[in-house]
Each structure stands twice: as structure tokens, then as C-alpha cells.
Amino acid sequence: MRYILALDQGTTSSRVALVDEQGKIVSILAREFPQIYPHEGWVEHDPMDIWSTQYGVMMETVAKSGVSIKDISAIGITNQRETTIVWDKNTGKPIYNAIVWQCRRTADAIERLKKGGYAEIIRAKTGLIPDAYFSASKIAWMLDNVEGARERAEKGELLFGTVDTWLIWKLTEGKVHATDSTNASRTMLFNINTMEWDEELLSLFRIPRSMLPTVKSSGEVFGYANVGGENIPIAGVAGDQQSALFGQTCYEKGEAKNTYGTGCFLLMNAGEERPNSEHGLLVTVASTLAGEKPQYALEGSVFIGGAVIQWLRDEMRFLKESKEAETYAKQVPDCGGVYVVPAFTGIGAPYWDMYARGAIFGVTRGTKREHIIRACQESIAYQSADLVEAMQKDTGAPLRKLQVDGGASRDGFLMQFQADILNAEVCKPSSHESTALGVATLAGLTVGVWKDRAQLKALHKTERVYTPNMCEEERTKKLKKWHKAVDRCLGWDLD
């Protein structure tokens, strides 16, 4: 039996899954690490915490599994995207904490770029909407605010990497400075048309080319890691959401997955021809193997997904545990005319209104907490349906079926309502670890554990398929009410 070690480095924890050649996870462990909040809106990690927890949990997973290291064919790395690390090329010491994707410290710098007329240039080259979310402005901040950093960078003494690059560099003992195209596409410095770092964008952000890693395909040998005396190839690397798309076997144009977490990340495979979104979606690079043509994906985010259930539990105290939401939602035949728009921090694609705020509509004397809980559940599905509609318009490709993962995908009521409101099948896999499986299969294809995608499709097991069971008249009526509710929330916080 051959195995793949999948390193899944997330925002709050470092995880490792050991995957066998049947595509099953035989062992999985995770270790949390500290979050650092120096100022309001600032989020940081200690890069050495990222490394030590990831390496430690990797060795622990191998030790506890009982699997011989000689039977591990490859390592795959998937990671929190956009998080930015800069370190000394010679000593390996980070010059500052990692600036996390959530950090908003560079928002003013991004606004200045927009006012300078650079938004369309950035979007045309990178597929991204200019935002502090991405890596470019974070690198620039470090060079401008860490003493001596810019001078050292211009001398070629500093290296930049997203989390995958940092882990590759550490695992190869400084021999390899590389990333993959999915992570590169989230920096706001990578031209997704030419699949190369863009000199104009580097000049715009004043970032020396010498800092940047070599860009490879997601499925390719990056280098070798010494694990217990064995040199194991690092053969698969992908950002977490693109890895989950691959793990859900969404290999063809029009196939999509939705990860239901605190927020929701919905990606649709857009094929080999780059799409241009007219509906506020991001265009990003999808995972491919060495020698293949690049593939693209459309990406949309729901800011408040499972977080609305946490709100019901923690702030409203309607629930003791999040899993109770499904039980309460099923205790009423419908939402009783109640619609909840959870725009707690604005609303994302396709509306992109940071001034929107949350609201509850349709409340009557007969409204019970069950109605509000059900309406909150339904709001997750409505927001995801808006993303699917935008993607279908942008690609011209109808949604075949929606693959789902993440914690809230265990909620049967939510998944059935999602199928109903999309009028499409919703497929829940047997394993919820799509992110780890994605990078494991990329690495396994690279080293020959699996021969092709068809074999992986055959191994991909579906636990349950939710089939739509709502008439078109009712679906149309519900969506019309939802959009009416959203319209009344837009611009609420504008003076």
C-alpha cells in the first residue's frame, strides 16, 4: 500500500492527513497555533508557529499511523491563501510576522491605487478586484515599515512566499524557493494571461523581482523533504480552495463546489479559456498537472455562511449548539414569510456593498424563533444561489451539480433547501476533507500512485445526493422575495 502525506496549513490550525491509494484518509491530526492581533483590523501569525506546528503534527501523524515512512510516496501541501511571509535568504529568519489574509492594514493603500486608476489594469492582468486581502500590498507594507527591509530586498537578500512557499523552503532546508500557480494567482502580482509574474505590477507595488518564488504547476515535483531519513518528493501544492475543487473531482468546465464554513467559498471550473466576470466574481487559476494547459476558475465568497448560525447561538441565544439549527428549522413547514439577510459586515458577490447591513424582514405577531432560525438557514442557500447564477451568466455553462463540503454540509435541511433553490443536485461526499484530498490526489497523480483523473473519479464516493423537490413557481417566488430583502439592505450604513 502506498500513501500520500497531505499537509493542510489553515488559518487557525495545521493539519496533516495520511491518504492511502484507495483515496481514504487513514489518519488525520491537527494542532492549533496562536492568532496575533496587534491593532484593530490587523491579523498576524508567527511564521515559526506555522512551521513548528505543521512539522510537528506531520511527524506525529506518521508515528501514530504505524505506516512505514518508506511507503509514503509523496507529500502534498495545501494552505491558507494570500498570507504573506518575508524572510532572510541566508539565515532563514522572518523579518516580521506573517501578515494574514484577513488583515486590513493596507486598505488605505489599496484605495489610493483605485483612485489612481489602477483597478482595471489589476483586474485585467490578475482576475482580482484590488483589495487588502491579497499579498501584494502586504509585501509592500513590510518593505516600507520594517527597518532596512527595502534596502535588503533590493540587494537580493530577502525572499517572499505565501505559506506553501515557506513550508517548501523549510522542508527542503532552503534548497527550493517555489510556489504553484494557484497560490501565485492570489498575490495580485501574477499575470494569469501569461502565467508569469508581471513586471508592471511589481513596479507598481515597488517589489523587487528577486524576492519572488519560481512558479510551478500544482501537480509537479517541487523538491524533496527529509522525513525520518527518507527523501520524499513534494509533488502537489495548491491553495486551499483550489485544492478542494480538485478534491471534489471538479475537473470539467461547469463543475462546481461550495465549502460551507464560517463563510462559503464557491468555485466553478471555467475551463482552459479565461473568463471575464461581469458579475463581481474573481477569476483565479485552477489546479493542473505539469505539462497541461492552465485551467481557470470563477470564485465567489459568501461572507456570512455558518457564521449566521453562530450568531443565533452566541448573540441571540436561540441555540445551545449549532447543530440544533437543523432540528428547529424542521419544526415549522416554512419560514413563515421571514427573510434574514446576514449582511453583518457588508455583502459580497455579486453585490459588493460594504455599506449593506443585516436585517430581518416579514416579522409578524405569529413569528416564532423556529421561523427565524429557518430563515437564517435559508439565507446561506440564497447567498450561494446568487453566486451560482452569476457564474452561469459569466461562463454560459449551466451548473451540472454542486459538490459540497465543510461543516454545514452535514446539515440535511440546508443541503435539501440548497438543491431546491438551485434546481440542481447537491452531492455530499463520504469524506469531508476535500482540501486535504485535493492536494493528496495532485501529488499522487504526479508520482504515479494514480494513473489519471478517471481513476480518481471512480474512487470518489458520494454519501448522499439531494435532489430538487420544489416547483418552479415556488422557487421563483422565494428568490424574488430574497432579492427584495437584499435590495432594502444595500447602502444602509452610508451617511
Nearest to 131 by CA among 181, 187, 88: 187
pLDDT given at position 172: 95
- Hey, how many other C-beta atoms are within 10 angstroms of the C-beta on 245? 33
Q: Which residues pair with 215 in a beta bridge?
A: 179
CA distance 385 to 383: 5
pLDDT given at position 290: 93
CA distance 19 to 26: 6
Tell me what percent of the residues of the chain surpass a pLDDT of 90.
Answer: 73
| pLDDT above 80: residue 354 | no
* pLDDT band per the 50, 70, 90 thresholds, residue 419: very high
Q: Tens digits of per-residue pLDDT, 441-484? A: 999 999 999 999 999 999 988 899 999 999 999 999 999 999 99
Q: Tens digits of per-residue pLDDT, 82-94? A: 999 999 999 999 9
Q: Tens digits of per-residue pLDDT, 153-183? A: 999 999 999 999 999 999 999 999 999 999 9
pLDDT given at position 302: 85
Q: Tens digits of per-residue pLDDT, 48-58? A: 999 999 999 99
* pLDDT band per the 50, 70, 90 thresholds, residue 396: confident
pLDDT given at position 397: 76
Largest CA distance in the chain: 70
Q: Tens digits of per-residue pLDDT, 239-274? A: 999 999 999 999 988 889 998 887 888 999 989 999
Cβ proximity of 64 and 29 under 8 Å: yes
| pTM over the 0.95 mark | no
* pLDDT band per the 50, 70, 90 thresholds, residue 406: confident
**Mean pLDDT in the chain?**
92
Q: Tens digits of per-residue pLDDT, 62-119? A: 999 889 999 999 999 999 999 999 999 999 999 999 998 888 888 889 889 999 999 9
- Classify residue 315 as left (phi > 0), alpha (psi -120 to 50) or beta: alpha
Q: Tens digits of per-residue pLDDT, 285-320? A: 999 999 999 999 999 988 788 889 989 998 889 999
pLDDT given at position 101: 84
3 φ/ψ angles, rounded to the nearest 5 degrees:
-130, 155
| pLDDT above 80: residue 415 | yes
Cβ proximity of 238 and 183 under 8 Å: yes
- Hey, how many other C-beta atoms are within 10 angstroms of the C-beta on 232? 21
| pLDDT above 80: residue 345 | no
HEC string for the chain: CCEEEEEEECCCEEEEEEEECCCCEEEEEEEECCCECCCCCCCEECHHHHHHHHHHHHHHHHHHHCCCHHHEEEEEEEECCCCEEEEECCCCCECCCEECCCCCCCHHHHHHHHHCCCHHHHHHHHCCCCCCCCCHHHHHHHHHHCCCHHHHHHCCCEEEECHHHHHHHHHCCCCCCEEEHHHHCCCCCEECCCCEECHHHHHHHCCCHHHCCEEECCEEEEEEEEECCEEEEEEEEEEHHHHHHHHCCCCCCCCEEEEECCCEEEEEEEECCCCCCCCCCEEEEECCECCCCCEEEEEEEECCCCHHHHHHHHCCCCCCCCCHHHHHHCCCCCCCCCEEECCECEECCCCCECCCCCEEECCCCCCCHHHHHHHHHHHHHHHHHHHHHHHHHHHCCCCCEEEEECHHHHCHHHHHHHHHHHCCEEEEECCCCHHHHHHHHHHHHHHCCCCCHHHHHHHCCEEEEECCCCCHHHHHHHHHHHHHHHHHHCCCCCC
Residue with cell 486590513: 104
